[in-house]
């Protein structure tokens, strides 16, 4: 009996299923824990609702970027964007507000293009991600490219075997 | 900082980039030396020539590893060594998780170069485990960030533990166990190690050892 169970466990096919099941059990135990968000987060932004209210009240065009606005002026040490990062740098908050002319035009047109502006090249720079946490960006893409390398190797050899080269 | 110096000795130096908070202590220096020596040894050695004896016949065959395959696997081995160096020296929790998952995927790459059906099959299932355990790994890190508001190990060492932090540590441990191919995955691991080309597959054992050592240190720092 025990031998049969152990033999079935030795199959590579069942290992991911057992592992996923074990993780599910552990995660169920995490549900009743008293979870609270620490208010002193390192990478803050004003709440989106607040950004929109300010935009309507002041007719301040820069708040058309909500919910991605961090304020500030580009390359101006006196008017920096709101950047509170873990690893300090003397130049943080300088380039958060930079927009290309096309993005500036989109910002002037409507209240509702914030997501579009942040999602296209030349829009809002996520300064925290690209400047104060630069290694993350490199590492994430290197994981992706390693996966691409492995997949292309496997597929290349498969097709070579199929065509008989 | 107190917990870190208790565990791994005085911090000799930081490598000054902005978020790349690599720190060097006697402990991590020893681990880096082992990794560098082992990776250089594997990268310089030639793949084995394995003899296969068949039962019932009086035949002994020598199997060879193709040059291209060996080159691909050597590349993955070196990449795994670099990822392991990052795992043992980083001082940022999110970067730690990223380095561990890079180690896992390069481990998989070492075996994906092999052209045996059963080895590729076991590698596929190991890849499923890697994908599954990226959830607890990054979930644990995200819970720690939400609960304490920081990712730096130097700051986290001074924060007292609570139930949520313990839960995050459990998740982190599960994730690292999966990515580092530790104990419960002997079934897949044994099938994978049947691959020919001996020196490269030893990298998997080294990465298991290093990921395990480092994740224990990280859990003690957090606690």
Which of B:162-201 have CB within 8 Å of A? 163-164, 167, 170-171, 174, 178, 184-185, 187-188, 191
A65-107 confidence digits (pLDDT tens): 777 777 777 787 877 777 777 777 777 778 777 888 888 888 8
Confidence of residue B106 (pLDDT cuts 50, 70, 90): very high
A7 Cβ under 8 Å from any chain B Cβ: no
Query: Taking CB atoms and an 8 Å limit, are A15 and B187 in contact across chains?
Result: yes
Burial of B139 (0-12, 13-18, 19+ CB in 10 A): buried
- Domain residue ranges in chain B: 2-222
pLDDT band at residue B138 under the 50/70/90 scheme: very high
CB atoms within 10 A of CB A108: 10
CB-based contact, B38 to chain A, within 8 Å: no
Q: Which residue of B has its CA nearest to A40?
A: B149
Contacts of A4 (CB under 8 A, 6+ apart): none
Q: How high is the mean pLDDT of chain A?
A: 78
pLDDT score at A63: 66
- Reported as a pLDDT band with limits 50, 70 and 90, residue A162 is low
Instruction: Report DSSP letters for A76-91, one per residue.
Output: -TTS------SS--TT
Cα gap B146→B92, rounded to integer Å: 15
Lowest-confidence segment of A4-8, A54-58, B67-71, B96-100 by average pLDDT: A54-58
Average pLDDT (B79-103) is 90
Q: Do B19 and A134 touch (CB under 8 A)?
A: yes
The position carrying tokens 């050899």 is A157
pLDDT digits (tens, 9 = 90+) for A32-59: 888 888 877 776 777 777 776 766 665 5
Give me the residue from A39, A135, A150 closest to B19, CB to CB: A135
DSSP string, B142-205: HHHHHHHS--BHHHHTTSPP-HHHHHHHHHHHHHHHHHTT-GGGHHHHHHHHTSS-HHHHHHHH
**Chain B: closest CA distance from residue A9 (Å):** 7
Q: Tens of pLDDT along A102-142?
A: 888 888 887 788 788 888 877 777 777 777 777 788 888 99
B180-208 pLDDT, tens digit per residue, is: 877 666 666 777 776 666 778 888 888 88
Kindly indicate whether the ipTM for this predicted assembly is greater than 0.90, answering yes or no.
no
Q: Hey, what are B94's tokens?
A: 């999110």
Phi, psi dihedral angles at B4 (to 5 degrees): -65, -45
Report the run of H or E that residue A22 belongs to, with start and end. helix A15-30
Those residues with Cβ within 8 angstroms of residue A73's Cβ, 6 or more apart along the chain or in another chain: A79, A97
- Report which DSSP code applies to A98: -
Per-residue model confidence (pLDDT) at position A62: 60
Give mean pLDDT, residues A19-44.
Answer: 83
Kindly report the nearest CA distance between residue B152 and chain A, in angstroms: 8
DSSP B100-136: HHHHHHHHHHHHHT---HHHHHHHHHHHHHHHHHHHH
pLDDT in tens, B38-47: 999 988 888 7
- Count Cβ atoms below 10 Å from residue B138 Cβ, excluding itself: 17
Which chain A residue has its CA at the smallest distance from B72's CA?
Answer: A153
Predicted pLDDT at A7? 79
Report the residue from A134, A135, A157 with minimal CB separation from B115: A157
Tell me the pLDDT of chain B averaged across its residues: 83
- Backbone phi and psi for residue B61, each to the nearest 5 degrees, phi listed first: -105, 150
Residue found by looking up tokens 């069942």 in the block = A14
pLDDT of residue A25 exceeding 60, the answer is: yes
Nearest one of B144, B134, B133 to B221, comparing CA atoms: B144
pTM of the model: 0.84
Candidates A29, A36, A92, A143, partner chain B, best to mutate (most B CBs within 10 A): A143
State the best of A88, A94, A146, A156 to mutate against chain B, taking most chain B CBs within 10 Å: A146
Which of A40, A133, A153 is opposite residue B112, by nearest beta carbon? A153
Nearest Cα neighbor of A12 from B183, B192, B122 is B122
Q: What is the pLDDT of residue A61?
A: 54
A149: nearest CA partner in chain B: B109
Contacts of B121 in chain A (CB under 8 A): 12
Report the distance separating Cα B217 and Cα B155, nearest Å. Answer: 15
User: B76 to chain A: nearest residue by CA?
Assistant: A146
Q: Do A86 and B20 touch (CB under 8 A)?
A: no
Report the alpha-carbon distance of residue A58 to residue B9 in Å, rounded: 56
Summarised one tens digit per residue, pLDDT across range A1-11 is: 888 888 787 77
| Residue B13, SS3 per DSSP | strand
Tokens 């609960």 belong to B147
């Amino acid at each position: 009996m025990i031998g049969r169970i152990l033999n079935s466990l030795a199959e590579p096919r069942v290992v991911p299923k057992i592992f996923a099941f074990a993780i599910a059990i552990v995660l169920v135990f995490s549900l009743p824990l008293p979870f609270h968000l620490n208010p002193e987060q390192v990478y803050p932004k004003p709440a989106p609702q607040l950004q929109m209210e300010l935009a309507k009240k002041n007719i301040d065009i820069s708040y058309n970027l909500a919910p991605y606005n961090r304020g500030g002026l580009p390359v101006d040490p006196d008017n920096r964007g709101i950047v509170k990062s873990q690893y300090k740098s003397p130049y943080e908050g300088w380039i958060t507000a930079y927009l290309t002319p096309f993005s500036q035009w989109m910002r002037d047109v409507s209240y509702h293009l914030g997501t579009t502006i942040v999602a296209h090249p030349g829009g809002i720079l996520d300064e925290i991600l690209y400047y104060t946490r630069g290694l993350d960006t490199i590492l994430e893409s290197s994981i992706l490219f390693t996966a691409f390398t492995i997949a292309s190797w496997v597929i290349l050899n498969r097709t070579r075997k199929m065509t008989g080269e | 900082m107190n917990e870190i110096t208790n565990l791994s000795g005085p911090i000799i130096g930081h490598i000054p980039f902005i978020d790349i908070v690599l720190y060097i202590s006697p402990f991590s220096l020893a681990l880096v030396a082992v990794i560098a020596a082992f990776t250089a040894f594997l990268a310089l050695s030639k793949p084995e020539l394995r003899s296969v004896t068949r039962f019932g016949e009086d035949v002994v065959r020598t199997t060879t590893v193709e040059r291209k395959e060996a080159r691909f696997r050597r590349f993955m081995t070196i990449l795994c060594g670099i990822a392991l160096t990052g795992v043992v020296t980083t001082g940022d929790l999110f970067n730690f998780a990223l380095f561990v998952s890079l180690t896992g995927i390069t481990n998989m790459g070492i075996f994906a170069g092999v052209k045996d059906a059963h080895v590729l099959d076991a590698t596929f299932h190991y890849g499923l485990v890697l994908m599954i355990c990226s959830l607890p790994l990054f979930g644990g890190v995200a819970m720690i960030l939400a609960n304490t508001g920081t990712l730096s190990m130097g700051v986290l060492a001074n924060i007292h533990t609570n139930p949520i932090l313990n839960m995050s540590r459990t998740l982190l441990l599960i994730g690292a166990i999966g990515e580092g191919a530790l104990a419960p995955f002997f079934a897949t691991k044994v099938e994978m190690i049947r691959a020919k080309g001996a020196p490269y597959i030893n990298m998997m054992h080294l990465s298991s050892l290093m990921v395990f050592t480092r994740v224990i240190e990280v859990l003690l720092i957090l606690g």
